[in-house]
Structure 1
Amino acid sequence: MQHWTGIDAVPAGFGPAVVTIGNFDGVHRGHSAVLQQLVDESRRRSARSVAITFDPHPRRVHAPDSAMELITGLTDRVELIAESGLDALLTIHYTLEFSRATAEEFVRSIIVEKLGACAVVVGHDVRFGSGNHGDFETMVELGRRYGFEVVGIDDAGHDRRWSSTWIREALNTGDVTTASEVLGRPHRMRGEVVHGAARGRELGFPTANLSPEATGIIPADGVYAGWLVDAAGTRWPSAISVGSNPTFEGVSRQVEAHVIDRPDESIEDFDLYGQQVVVEFVERLRPMVAYNGVESLIDQMNDDVAKARTVLSADAATA
């Protein structure tokens, strides 16, 4: 998949193309349905498939003090969109100046003139242009004016519409199982492994601590079964702790993954420090609670590891 990080990067004379637009935060099942329809339409028309997305998220530009957390960072968004089989992705740097373009200016200058659209695939809830005044009917009317067809798609789920809001609700309560169902895969975070207090190693459970700058929503505090994917792409079964660890005072909120059955317990032989890793959350095992002493905590951690091993054995068998 070609990835253009600006409008000017689109080659001259590109097209014909089937185009869609969206923020695609999370790249969930609803987004996947749109992207699959996009690919199918492009093949049927012997055209190229192109998605348009924005970075930063428009809400972070218009309301930076109250902007929502993003389910996925840009790196993961691009990677997940590429898995759909698109020919190209155009990421537009979103600014207040760009936001002032009317719906017609956006469609004419980018979708028609830059991408040579012969069709546009969008959900019926699409909004675009200055003030989000453009909607599905606007797109249909502009299609008539500029010579492209509009293909509408319904992205409803089982009993409610697949949505990023649904995923955020689930993650905020620690329900990573529901979040995974809506996403179509485990929720993930991505970040650099940094040095922590080494308390886990002292207790016999060394952990890979994600940098505070890691991307992806942090789920509710608790212990989870999941996977750590290292820089080489190897997936390691892990027990993941999210929170401040109330057994110890003065510990800030963090995400740390203890790799289960690691090849060697020596950190020198299994060094993840400085690596960009992905942490995937499969199932919540328990909430975060305080324990009366280190021995009680160690007993609980051993139980967490045993439960995580069982969960992940089943997860790997169904993958």
Structure 2
Amino acid sequence: MHRWTSLDDVPADLGPTVATLGNFDGVHRGHRAVLDTVTSIARERGLASVAVTFDPHPVAVLHPERAPQEIAGLDHRLDLLEQAGLDGVVVVEFTREYALLTPEDFVRQTFVDGLRSQVVVIGHDSRFGLHNSGDESTMRALGERYSFEVVVQGTVGEMDHGLRSWSSTALRAAIAAGDMEAATEILDRYHRVSGEVVHGHHRGRELGYPTANLATDSEGLVPGDGVYAGWLERPVLPPDHPDRRLPAAISVGTNPTFDDVVQRTVEAYVLDRTDLDLYGETVWVEFVTRLRANERFDSLEALMDQMALDVERARDLLRG
């Protein structure tokens, strides 16, 4: 998949395209329904399939005080878009000046002149242009004016978890609540946080459960506080390496038993392994299920007893 950092980088010989646009944060099943439509039409008509996405998130530029934390970092998002089968992705730098484009100027610049789109696929709730004033009806009118077809993907993903659709809003809510089953259903994969392993307080090692502590600038939306079963993956290793993907018990939060911890952390103990030296390595931590909420223990012995139970539950769940 080609990755372009502006429309000017798109080669002239790419040919006409089937294109779409969006933040694609998380590249969840709702996004993939749109992307599947793009790639399917492109294959049928012998055209290139292209997505246009933005970095940083528009809300982070226009309203930084209420910008959502990204569900997935840009590199992960691009990898997921590649897995969707696209021929190319244009990552547009979103600026305040860019936000001033009218819907028509945005469409003409992006789909007409930039990508020579014969088909534009959008979600039913897509918004674009100045003040997000462009919508489905705007795109259809512009399609008639500039001679491209518009395909609208309706709502998808009625779920069994009380969530209405496969959307980024529903996904953020599930992750924040620690409902990893719902998050997995929306994503069709486990949610992931990635970051460099750094030194912590070393309490886990002292207690017999050495943990890989992720740096505070890790990428990916951190789930709500609690103890989880999941996986630690080491992308530095080959895919077939026995230590590439390892079962783990994961703690998220401030460790309330100890008063000197004020920063939320993500710590992963690789089950039954005390020999790993992961410091300085970038790892992926995947969340399968929440085992319990965080709690404050009256004694170190009570904490260690609970940690042993957590590890056993994680082992049983991940073994299955």
**TM interval, short-chain normalised:** over 0.9
Q: Which residue of 2 aligns with 1:130?
A: 130
1:278 aligns with 2:284: yes
Distance 1:13 1:133 in 2: 32
Preserved contact between residue 33 and residue 155 of structure 1 (Cα < 8 Å) = no
Map 1:146-295 → 2, pairs under 5 A: 146-159=146-159, 160-230=164-234, 231-232=236-237, 233=239, 234-251=244-261, 252-262=263-273, 265-266=274-275, 270-295=276-301
Distance 2:272 2:51 in 1: 41
- Which one is further off, 152-161 or 249-258? 152-161
Aligned length: 309
Q: Which residue of 1 aligns with 2:303?
A: 297
Distance 2:110 2:28 in 1: 25
Q: Which residue of 2 aligns with 1:317?
A: none
Q: Secondary structure at the match of 1:150?
A: strand
Distance 2:24 2:7 in 1: 18
Preserved contact between residue 71 and residue 168 of structure 1 (Cα < 8 Å) = yes
The C-alpha deviation readout for 1:156-197, integer Å capped at 9, x for no partner, is 212512111111111221111111111111111111111111
Q: Secondary structure at the match of 2:42?
A: helix
Identity of aligned residues (%): 52
Preserved contact between residue 26 and residue 187 of structure 2 (Cα < 8 Å) = yes
Two-structure CA RMSD over aligned residues (Å): 1.1
State TM-score, norm by structure 1. 0.94
State TM-score, norm by structure 2. 0.94
The C-alpha deviation readout for 1:81-119, integer Å capped at 9, x for no partner, is 111011001100000001111111111112111111010
Q: Secondary structure at the match of 2:14?
A: coil
Distance 2:138 2:65 in 1: 31
Task: Extract unaligned runs of 5+ from structure 1.
Answer: 315-319
Map 1:301-312 → 2, pairs under 5 A: 301-312=307-318
- Which one is further off, 69-78 or 55-64? 69-78
Q: Secondary structure at the match of 1:33?
A: helix
Please tell me the residue identity of whatever aligns with 1:249. Answer: D
Distance 2:98 2:36 in 1: 28
- Which one is further off, 11-20 or 75-84? 11-20
Preserved contact between residue 19 and residue 51 of structure 1 (Cα < 8 Å) = yes
How far did residue 121 of structure 1 move?
0.9
Please tell me the residue identity of whatever aligns with 1:65. Answer: E
Shift of the 53–42 alpha-carbon distance from structure 1 to 2, 3 Å rule, reads: same
Distance 1:155 1:32 in 2: 12
